[in-house]
Copies of this chain bind each other. A is one copy, B any other.
Amino acid sequence: MFREKIKVLDCTVRDGGLMNNHNFDTRFVRSVYQALSDAGIDYMEIGYKNSPRLFSPKEYGKWKFCADQDIAEVIRGIKSQTKISVMVDVDRVDVDDVVPKKDSPVDMIRVATYVKDVDKAIYLVNHFADKGYETTVNIMAISRALDNELTECLEQLEDESRAQIIYIVDSFGSLYQETTEFLIKKAKNILKSKEVGMHAHNNQQLAFSNTIEAVIHNANYVDGSIYGLGRAAGNCPTELILGFLKNPKYDIRPILDVISKEFVPLQKKIEWGYFIPYAITGILDEHPRTAIALRGSDKKENYREYYESLVGESED
């Protein structure tokens, strides 16, 4: 038995790109697209649509900018029902870089925002909807949102935005299943005309269970990434989502193949997954940036000292 409305979005290349400045080569990205297509995954998020006037193409790979011709090169010749998604951040996109949907290989644009920036997000998402794209708003750092501000944010999204889907984003991997239940129920209660989605980080090994929890409470859009690849502790593994969902349209085998061929070797070059500093930031509901810095330093395994550096300062 399965719920046909559930859609899986794989954000491997987009979220994983945060670990290598979006420098995946076209061959790798085509392998991922082929695997997701063969597995029947609904969406593939390929990167950010950042403005090359705000970030230097010399410092970042092409999946920070997602030029339409680069996407075209990835999908060329591969038979697929998988739609292409790109993410934009408030204040980092030039809307004039985005051509109308009919002229682009992109199907969906997801706008990532903090609660405080929801007005900007609504402007962007309505602009992209006008250009013909499927659209979502992804509310980041939701574990830090004050309840009254989140209520107002969700009400605005319901009343003023044309986004079809609103995502709860556990940026810090700090949610437990009870918190997830609370947030998804709250979102479903306010967003009468929209679908709700879940994007979970895996700092405390809870990304998969929080995604299941969201599905139990009627979120119909779930994010995964192959072998959990993503920033720091990574995301909910796509292969586990497919093992859980019983929809016969999905096939786990192409995902297993691409893990063997691409992700096992990649693990020797990029570090992601369960490491103690990421667990600590999850436990403490903190951004992982200091943990990522620690893992790149010669103190990468000084866990107690790192923990004490985070809990040592009073915030009074």
**Cβ contacts A241-269/B at 8 Å (1 or 0 each):** 00110000000110011011000100000
A209 & B177 in contact (Cβ 8 Å cutoff): yes
Report if A279-B239 is in contact (Cβ < 8 Å); known contacts: A205-B202, A260-B304, A308-B253. yes
B279 & A240 in contact (Cβ 8 Å cutoff): yes
Contacts of A216 in B (CB 8 A): 177-178
Report if A307-B256 is in contact (Cβ < 8 Å); known contacts: A177-B212, A177-B213, A264-B301. yes
A303 & B256 in contact (Cβ 8 Å cutoff): yes
Q: Does A190 contact B (CB under 8 A)?
A: no
A253 & B206 in contact (Cβ 8 Å cutoff): no
| Chief secondary structure at chain A's binding surface | helix
Q: Which interface residue of A202, A257, A276 has the most chain B CB atoms within 10 A? A: A276
How distant is the Cα of A178 from the Cα of B177 in the complex, in angstroms? 12
A243 & B283 in contact (Cβ 8 Å cutoff): yes
How distant is the Cα of A240 from the Cα of B281 in the complex, in angstroms? 12
Q: Does A47 contact B (CB under 8 A)?
A: no
A174 to chain B, nearest CB (A): 10
Report if A307-B252 is in contact (Cβ < 8 Å); known contacts: A243-B279, A301-B264. yes
Kindly report how many copies of this chain are found in the complex they form together: 2
Q: Does A207 contact B (CB under 8 A)?
A: yes
Contacts of A301 in B (CB 8 A): 260, 264
Report if A273-B274 is in contact (Cβ < 8 Å); known contacts: A240-B205, A253-B304. yes
Identify the A interface with B (CB < 8 A): 176-178, 202, 204-210, 212-213, 216, 227-228, 237, 239-240, 243-244, 252-253, 256-257, 259-260, 264, 273-274, 276, 279-280, 282-283, 301-304, 307-308
A-B contact pairs, 26 of them (CB 8 A): A177-B212, A177-B213, A177-B216, A178-B216, A202-B205, A204-B243, A205-B237, A206-B208, A208-B209, A209-B209, A237-B279, A239-B276, A240-B279, A240-B283, A243-B279, A243-B282, A243-B283, A244-B283, A253-B307, A253-B308, A256-B276, A256-B280, A256-B303, A259-B276, A259-B303, A260-B301
